[in-house]
Amino acid sequence: MIADILSYISDGNWVELLEKYRSLGPFPGIFLTFMKSFIPPLPTIVLVGGNAAVYGFWLGFLYSWIGLVSGCAVTYLIVAKISGSRFAKRWTSKPKVQRGMRWARQNAFSYVFLLGILPVGPFVAVTVAAAAARMPFRSFLLACGMGKAIMVFMVSYIGYDLKRFMERPIELLYVVLFIVASLWVSKRIEKRFARADEAIDTTTVSLDSMK
């Protein structure tokens, strides 16, 4: 079923679906952006851009922002609640999540804020790491809300004026460059934190050998 949803949305039917259920008000636009936290493969750019195209720039921005941030908040609270369970321990034992937890402890606010700006990247892992590392919920919500606001604003601008991009396809180059730049920045941030993580590991080993 999830595969069918992803296929349907990725095939460009998201705007058509929103138009069909627009009588339900903001619920469709908020719901699927909310579900992004629980179904990571859902394409953020398509969902946010579609909301802006159907609801208008400001309402589309608001609905997308509410959905994304509330999804992250619920994910955080769930992970924080079950952090002592066997499943959570197995998940947090994964190397990528372990690195994320260390980054969150060292640079909590900037870590969540910077990765929240990017429309691509493993933000679910960021949320899990922040919760598992006991980052204060208020700080997480503030950093996530600010980062997502910037990202949603940029993507909504593209989605709202999609007709212009269709009439002048050359301007789609900006969209491609934005995605590529986001991926590049995401990787740079990940490498930066990874180097810091390796430095900490090296220092720990050195201190242990001196004992």
Tokens of 49: 């851009």
Distance CA 40, CA 22 (A): 24
Of the candidates 109, 27, 41, 34, the one whose C-alpha atom is nearest the C-alpha of residue 72 is: 34
Taking all residues of the chain, what is their mean pLDDT, rounded to a whole number?
76
Angle between helices 137-160 and 95-117 (to 10 degrees): 50
pTM greater than 0.75 (yes/no):
no
Distance CA 208, CA 183 (A): 37
> Cα(first)–Cα(last) distance of the chain, in Å?
56
pLDDT at 136 over 60: yes
Q: Alpha helices, DSSP H only, in 82-171?
A: 86-92, 95-117, 123-132, 137-160, 162-167
- In this prediction, residue 114 carries a pLDDT of 81
Distance CA 85, CA 172 (A): 46
pLDDT at 202 over 90: no
1-15 pLDDT tens trace: 445 555 555 555 667
For 115-124, 147-156, 182-191, which range has the lowest pLDDT when averaged over its residues?
A: 182-191
CA-to-CA separations, 177 to 72, 168, 172, in angstroms, rounded: 26, 16, 9
Task: Judge contact between 48 and 156, C-beta under 8 A.
Answer: yes
70-129 pLDDT tens trace: 999 999 999 888 876 676 667 667 776 676 667 666 677 777 888 888 887 778 888 888
Tokens of 167: 């009439």
Express as a percent the part of the chain with pLDDT over 90: 14
pLDDT at 149 over 70: yes
Instruction: Assign 76 to helix, strand or coil.
Output: helix
More confident residue, 50 or 198: 50
